[in-house]
Structure 1
Amino acid sequence: METKGPSLYEQAGPSVDMSRSLEEDSLVDGPLISVDALHSAIRREFQTVPTPCHAGLLSLLHVVYVVLSMCVAVLCVLKFGQEEVCMSILGNVRGESVILFGKVCLWVLVLLFTGCAQHHHNRARSRGYLRFYRQMQGLKHLPLTVHSAGNVLLLVVLAAQLSVKVHTYMLLSIIGLELLVALPCLIYYTVKVMQFNRERAAPDVSQEEHSHNFSISSLPTETGFREGSSLEEVVEKQADLIEYLKQHNTLLSKRLLNLTAQH
């Protein structure tokens, strides 16, 4: 019986091993990247959320609108001896209409601010700041909710067909109540975002890894199912985390290539 010759794999064995060893040697002999350099490159990726400036400007415009509305209501609607001044400034436009037009413009500004805040918070979420995103998720929509509720109350007052004096006082009460509720919300939102920008913290995953590495009694992460948490919330957190990790791995690959080329 004839003996079989060496298999193709055995014949190509030395060459395969040689090419594999050359690849491994090239990887080992390549420039090593220090951990400090990589971490310093990652820390520069922090981007602040610029919405505190928008919130401050919106708060200022809200206060100015309320003050001007009260002046127009007292001088032009209730007509406390300033009819000529109102006619020279407003012309044939009624003072009540000016207040309502200003209310519509203010609501549009609040809507634009909410959309802008949502855009920047979504970017922070994609960069791995999931905890910050969830903390601010309801707060950034609260001013729009307050102004929308005020618009509904104004429509009810307009439909009631009250006397001019009662109607004006109701209008001023609704506008003042909006200011008392929406302004503290915007101030609190501004403080929280400024605190986030000042801390310049690492993404949530990096913070959890740091706590597990340097703390024995570290708390467990929130990526798994915990008693008292809903399944939808857990699935949403995991989806956010997976999406962030994909982007983070892509970014790390680019950083590694750049740092390898520099060394």
Structure 2
Amino acid sequence: MDSGGPSLYANADPSVDLTQSIEDDSVGDEPLISVDALHSAIRREFKTVTTHWLAGLLTLLHVLFMVLSVCVAVLCVLNFGQKEVCASVLGNLPGDSVVVLGKACLWVLVLLFTWYVQHHHNQARRRGYLQFYREVQGLKHLPLTIHSIGNVAVLVVMVAELVPPVRTYLLLSILALELLVAVPCVLYYTVKVIRYNRERAAPDVSREEHLHINNVTSLPTETGFRGSSSLEEVVEKQADLIEYLKQHNTLLSKRLLNLTAQH
């Protein structure tokens, strides 16, 4: 038993193991893909959020609706125009009812716009743009909230037993106030989306890793815990981050398999 041990150690070549371990360490230390190449590849795969053009169209329709409502109210309700022309255009419908129907159609368009925006922003969140998603999370729902409050106010005015001139003036006042509040919100949202599309930035995790590499002594990033952050906010951020990392790891695995197949 004792004579067999030295013979085994004698047959082994320590230089081979040492050389092989050094080569393995050198191969493991070398990056497979440079950081600059990775960031450039991410920027090439950047997908824009195509909601700004629809926000501009919605703003244009809102302004057009306000102009037509004023024309109908002045010419057909307050009788500053020809009754025959209003009767030929509107038929038997009162002018106030036409304005309310137009307001309902506009609300449906805003509802569809909110659904479309939510769909695209959910996709941006899955691609790792968590900060942008949270920046516009409350902003993208404001137009629908404003129009819904306007609908309630219009319904109250229409149900109340008021004389026609007072009811018409109140109706136009509500529509004007709604326009002054909703349009700046939509325009501000449009600016945020256009700025996001122009930056074509990498996902939040990639940017944080890049900043951490350039400045090791930097402050903790948004993915970590901050003292002023609530527990619900931290849990939500971590859940979004885990979901993104799962999809990102799946994509990297597919790329690695493709590179292995090519070589």
- Which range, TM-score by smaller chain? 0.7 to 0.9
User: Which residue does 2:198 correspond to in 1?
Assistant: 198
Answer whether contact 1:38 1:255 (CA < 8 A) is retained: no
Q: How far, CA to CA, are the matches of 1:116 and 1:134 in structure 2? A: 17
Name the aligned partner's letter for residue 85 of structure 1: V
Does 2:150 correspond to 1:150? Answer: yes
Question: Residues 21-40 of structure 1 correspond to what in structure 2 (within 5 A)?
Answer: 34-35=33-34, 38-40=38-40
Q: Deviations over 1:137-190 (max 9, x none)?
A: 000000001001101111111222110000000000000101000000000000
Cα-to-partner distance string for 1:173-219 (whole Å, 9 max, x where unaligned): 00010100000000000000000000000000001001111124422
Q: Counterparts of 2:235 and 2:168 in 1: how far apart (Å)?
A: 50
Secondary structure at 2:140 match in 1: coil
Within a 5 Å distance, the mapping from 1:215-230 to structure 2 comes to 215-230=215-230
What is the match of residue 106 of structure 2? 106
- Distance in 2 between residues matched to 1:171 and 1:145, nearest whole Å: 18
| Segment drifting more, 223-232 vs 189-198 | 223-232
Bigger shift: 68-77 or 43-52?
43-52
* 2:95 corresponds to 1:95: yes
Mean CA deviation greater in 136-145 or 212-221: 212-221
Unaligned 5+ segments in structure 1 are: 7-20
1:135 & 1:75 partners in 2: Cα distance?
A: 44
Amino acid across the alignment from 1:238: Q
Aligned residues: 240
One-letter code aligned to 1:259: L
Tell me the residue number matched to 1:47: 47
Report the equivalent of 2:159. Answer: 159
Q: Distance in 2 between matches of 1:151 and 1:238?
A: 38
Partner of 1:241: 241
For the 8 Å contact 1:33–1:260, the answer to whether it is kept is: no
Q: How far has the Cα of 1:254 moved from its partner?
A: 1.4
The 8 Å contact of residues 58 and 110 in structure 1, kept in 2 or not, is answered as yes
> Which residue identity lines up with residue 73 of structure 1 in the other structure?
A
Distance of 1:81 and 1:222 partners within structure 2:
61
- Structure 2, unaligned stretches of length 5 or more? 5-19
Question: Is 2:74–2:81's contact at 8 Å kept on the other side of the alignment?
Answer: no
TM-score for both structures, normalised by structure 1: 0.85
